[in-house]
Structure 1
Amino acid sequence: YKGSVLGSGSDTWKYWAELRAGNITEEDWQEVEDGIARSAGTCMTMGTASTMTSAAEVLGFTLPGASSIPAVDSRHAMMATHTGKRIVEMVWEDLKPLDILTPASFDNAVTAVLGLGGSTNAIVHLIAMARRAGVPLDLARFDELARSTPVIANLRPGGKYLMEDFYYAGGLRAFLREMGPLIDGSQRTCNGLTLGENIADATTHNTDVIRPRSEALLESGGLAVLHGNLAPSGAVIKPAAMEQHLRKHTGPAVVFRNYDDLAARIDSPELAVTKDSVIVLQSAGPQGAPGMPEWGQLPIPQKLLKEGVRDMVRISDARMSGTSYGACVLHVTPESHVGGPLALVRDGDLVTLDVDARRIDMDVSDEEIAKRRADWQKPIPKFSRGYGVMFLKHVQQADTGCDFDFLAPDYAEGGAGAGEGEPEIH
């Protein structure tokens, strides 16, 4: 677009803000839209798809290097052929996912996501996967690893380059080798070799795309887990993709009850909001929305966009696209729909984000919070029949993966102990 390389998703948000600010025309926006996806395939930024395919490879679920190949590259079809052959071999070898998945392999996946500056959605997905596999993984482990893992992949939205550049710079294999001792190379993968054996001969061809650890984009903190009286069970933020002056910020809350309320009022000239305000969206979590949609990159009010504001602190129990960016506190748990403290925030409450201290708090006394909780009324369920009822009854909160409780290996209908999850095969 006008000489600049577009990154799908990331530049969509960027130019949408410019359109709403009145800085580009509808014709400009159409030109951006026409060029935002240059070929078949997933988003070519380090969005959720690129993050999770990378995580799958690190877990040992793909052939070495498979996750990085662009969709239209001829090597993609070759990889598919080799994959089909290997799947049949694995059946004869009786090599199953639980033969590969271990606490160390999940640590590897988390570390890779952090080093890639990957999507916050990976937190939910990997926790859900680990729980189904009977592997302990929680927000505390994510944050522990985040504090010691550098971001070395210079990829949008937190960096400069696209996935195509990443592949030709050496791809995930080169990235993993650059991560060095942070990755446990002893873990088994689907081709029968260890992860270390799969990356032993990998080479980095562009050290600006895949940085050495000594020249990392960030020394740590690709993702961060927050706690506080707004998120007793946790929330997440992506420090690698936010304006750094907002890492510690206090401002008055501007609260929206749900997405319809947000859409109706966010661009109103009468909205009482400044660049220091904290935008809060309720009812966007697993049960409240329902389905925890990717609403978390809350729009900046139009009047602030026209003043040049491009980032501000935003809080919700929603998710956010991996292509998104900004000082967005996500996955607030417990969600507002089930009575989490997010439901009790009111306009004007002072809210403090402190990324380095891993805190998200509202300056409201425990007594006032208790009073508001006593007055709070649980919302009417969104469904009264069908799949929706089952969903609302069984979906878990973000800190445990938003999975159905009955898919965990220790679940048994009626609570009588571990149940049988799969039928026998004869």
Structure 2
Amino acid sequence: MKLRSKEWFGRKGKDGFIYRAWMKNQGIPADMFEGKPVIGICNTWSELTPCNAHFRDLAEAVKKGVLEAGGFPVEFPVMSLGETLMKPTAMLFRNLASMDVEESIRANPIDGVVLLCGCDKTTPSLVMGACSVDLPTLVVSGGAMLTGKFQGKDIGTSDVWRFADASKQGTITEEEMNQAEAGMCRSAGHCAVMGTASSMASMVEALGLTLPGNAAIPAVDANRKVLARMSGRRIVEMIKEDLKMSKILKREAFENAIMVNAAIGGSTNFAIHLMAIAGRIGVELDLEDFDKYSKGVPLVANLQPSGKFFMEDLYYAGGIPAVMNSIQKFLNTDALTVNGKTIADNCSNQKSLNETVISTIENPFNPLSGIVVLKGNLCENGAVIKPSAATPALMKHTGKAVVFEDIEDYKVKIDSLDLDVDENSVLVLKNVGPKGYPGMPEVGNMGIPKKLLDKGVVDMVRISDGRMSGTGFGTVVLHISPESAVGGMLAFVQNGDMIELDVEARQLNLLVADEELAKRKQNLKLDLNKYTRGYCKLYVDHVEQSHLGADLDFLKGGSGSEVLRDSH
């Protein structure tokens, strides 16, 4: 093996003395430095990221596997992004965390990496950073929490939106809300539904970056530790085989990930993260590809928010290998994965163990699936909608705009009885895009106005340049590009304007005369100078639009694993 770490630990003289001597203060025997591959365990453990709070144990399992295979494990921390606590939004810091990962790997004596990912943004940020270095890399996800329980029913994060609406209407008491809160998160792990975290775990498995079965094993199931231990063993072999990320992340792997995301009803956030990963590894991927490759792939996984069941149920039904087996005819089955085998090798024998949870393509849970990409004068560079989570009757709709200029304006007005809105209106939220917020928060699935909830309205067309939680649902158009803060058409929408949505025709249009729009554009004032220092300024100055993946422009591609300057 040609080991990168030998440039540190294999040196003679002063430099080698320093590198080895200071590592030995941790009780490391001398023979650990003698020709053994160094495996970096990149850990996003944090008590401020509850989804990842069990990662210390997971890291120990990986270490055991590395040692068993003859490697030298070294665990290191990177910035952890906790979706539930971070303000203003964890997405603001995805690119920052990816820089932390990239530079931590490159700067240190590491031959291969195991990425411990869980909560939503920890997966794409770690994969993005690792792509830019391109060493042998394997992902271990943290797993979903056990299914929640409330009043004899199964619940998950998607039910938060339902509880919130019920609370507005007064149909659930404060005591019942407290009971639901206590029963929601019963164990370690990320959201129990097919939200963004589960979509990301499924994404890396479909890309071939994990051992088979990674995505669906519950966080507290003993098999999660078994998978982590086997991953520790496998990464040592990957170094011997020189199986780098770039050998796995070919165009075909990205197409597979898009098709699997369609089949599981995955998060719309999938698009923005996969685009960013493709940009780091150098694979050409366009927003239209998400529509192209998911078209015709039915929804076979009956999981919330598009269906009924939970990640725990997916595991018992066969997990992502069973999903891939069901849609095998669509996939690039000869794509290589981290275990050295192809997608076909990994999924051909794993049929669904429960067709109520994982159906066949001949009898799918829902023929509608995937991410539909819209175009039109309101979203010149594109927008997305998830039809499996939408209301069929609203997929072709024309209505009057009810405009909120920003998130603060929305919060003040949405439940006002004076709000001029009816069930046919189109709710419009501006200035929640990458630059406008900044960070593109998950606020696109705006709540239904209280005055309409009281009338029994449960869904409306909602559009914004922001994102939606993967646990959310509804007829929600997201990621409008260009965003309003940079002068996209969304900036010019006014109350009462007619907006036309036609999902089948892939169109979203503002029905306002060109002459009127020209007048409005003359009065546009842009203000992106409210941040004058630090990371927020760097982000606003350099973040790309959502249809490109919202990465920082100077982070596209990678610098490889070479350290350009030496020390000591």
Instruction: State whether TM-score is above 0.5.
Output: yes
Query: For the residues of structure 2 that align with 1:249 and 1:319, how far apart are their CA atoms?
Result: 21
The TM-score normalised by the length of structure 1 is 0.95
Question: SS at the partner of 2:362?
Answer: helix
In 2, the alpha carbon distance for the partners of 1:60 and 1:191 equals 8
Q: Which residue in the other structure is 2:367 paired with?
A: 219
CA distance in 2 between counterparts of 1:99 and 1:225 reads: 29
Q: Which residue of 2 aligns with 1:294?
A: 442
Q: Work out the number of aligned pairs and report it.
A: 416
Residues 310-335 of structure 1: CA deviation (Å, up to 9, x unaligned): 11010101111110000110000000
* Correspondence for 1:174 among 322, 325, 341: 322
Match of residue 335 from structure 2: 187
**Alignment partner of 1:260: what SS?**
helix
> When the two structures are superposed, what TM-score results if normalisation uses the length of structure 2?
0.72
Question: Aligned pair 1:423/2:562, yes or no?
Answer: yes
Which amino acid in the other structure matches residue 407 of structure 1?
L
Distance 1:85 1:39 in 2: 27
Q: How does 1:134-149 map to 2 (within 5 A)?
A: 134-149=282-297
Q: What is the CA-CA distance between 1:421 and the residue it aligns to?
A: 5.5
Match of 2:526 among 361, 375, 378: 378
Provide, for residues 34-88 of structure 1, a one-character-per-residue CA deviation record: whole Å limited to 9, x for no partner: 1112211111111001111111011111001111100011101111111111122
Give the Cα separation in 1 of the matches to 2:241 and 2:468. Answer: 40
Map Cα deviations across residues 353-387 of structure 1 (whole Å, 9 max, x no partner): 11111111111012222221111110242301111
Quote the residue 1:279 is aligned against: 427
Q: Which residue of 2 aligns with 1:4?
A: 153
2:195 and 2:208 map into 1 onto residues whose CA distance is 20
Say if 1:288 and 1:337, in contact at 8 Å, map to a contact too: yes
Q: Which amino acid aligns with 2:541?
A: K
Alignment of 1:318-333 (within 5 A): 318-333=466-481
**Aligned 1:106-121 pairs, distance under 5 A:** 106-121=254-269
Query: Contact between 1:22 and 1:306, CA under 8 Å: does it hold in 2?
Result: no
Residue among 233, 242, 245 paired with 1:97: 245
CA contact (8 A) 1:252 1:277 kept: yes
Q: Which residue of 1 aligns with 2:185?
A: 37
Q: Deviations over 1:242-299 (max 9, x none)?
A: 1111111111101011001111111111111111111100000000010001111111
Equivalent in the alignment of 1:50: 198
Which of 67, 77, 84 in structure 1 is aligned with 2:225?
77
Aligned to 1:307: 455
Residue of structure 2 in register with 1:388 after alignment: 536
Is 2:528–2:540's contact at 8 Å kept on the other side of the alignment?
Answer: no
In terms of Rg, which structure is larger? 2
User: Take 1:10 and 1:52, find their aligned partners in 2: how far apart are those partners?
Assistant: 17
Q: Is the 8 A contact 1:12 1:36 kept in 2?
A: no
Cα offset, 1:224, TM superposition: 0.8
Q: By how many angstroms is 1:303 displaced? A: 1.1
1:153 to 301, 305, 328: 301
1:261 to 409, 417, 423: 409
Give, in whole Å, the separation in 2 of the partners of 1:393 and 1:225: 27
Pairing 1:348–2:487 present: no
Contact 1:252 1:278 (8 Å CA) reproduced: yes
The whole-number CA distance in structure 2 between the counterparts of 1:359 and 1:59 is 30
Question: By how many angstroms is 1:139 displaced?
Answer: 1.3
Tell me if the contact between 1:64 and 1:173 (Cα under 8 Å) persists in the aligned partners. yes
SS of equivalent residue, structure 1 residue 392: helix
Distance in 2 of aligned mates of 1:182 and 1:169? 21
Structure with more contact order per residue of length (Cα contacts < 8 Å, sep ≥ 6):
1
Distance 2:274 2:517 in 1: 33
**Unmatched segments (≥5 aa) in structure 1:** 410-418
**2:389 paired with 1:250:** no
**Partner amino acid, structure 2, of 1:91:** I
Identity of aligned residues (%): 47
2:207 aligned to which of 59, 77, 81: 59
Whole-Å separation in 2 of the counterparts to 1:420 and 1:158: 40
Q: Deviation at 1:2? A: 2.0
Distance 1:380 1:167 in 2: 46
Separation in structure 1 between the aligned mates of residue 262 and residue 437 of structure 2, nearest angstrom: 28
**Is 2:516 aligned against 1:368?**
yes
Task: List per-residue Cα deviations over 1:79-133 (Å, max 9, x = no partner).
Answer: 1111111122222322110011111110000000011110000000001111111
Name whichever of 169-178 and 20-29 sits farther off.
Answer: 20-29
Contact 2:193 2:471 in 1 (8 A): yes
Q: 1:378-425 deviations in whole A, cap 9, x for unaligned?
A: 02423011111111111000100001111112xxxxxxxxx8455348
Aligned-residue offset at 1:146: 2.5
Say whether residues 1:129 and 2:268 are aligned partners. no
Question: Which structure 2 residue ranges, 5 or more long, are not aligned?
Answer: 1-149
Is 2:156 aligned against 1:17? no
| Paired amino acid for 1:3 | G
Residues 215-224 or 258-267, more deviating: 215-224
Cα drift, residue 200 of structure 1: 2.2
Letter in 1 for 2:267: S
Residues 117 and 276 of structure 1: CA distance in aligned 2, closer, same or farther (over 3 Å): same
Judge conservation of contact 2:435–2:528 (CA < 8 Å) in 1.
no
Judge which range, 21-30 or 10-19, deviates more.
21-30
Residue aligned with 2:154, SS: coil
Deviation readout 1:334-366 (Å, 9 max, x if unpaired): 000000000100000011111111111111012
Shift of 1:222: 2.6
Q: Structure 2: how far apart are the matches of 1:87 and 1:169? A: 28
Q: Does the 8 Å contact 2:543/2:552 carry over to 1?
A: yes
Residue identity matched to 2:154:
V
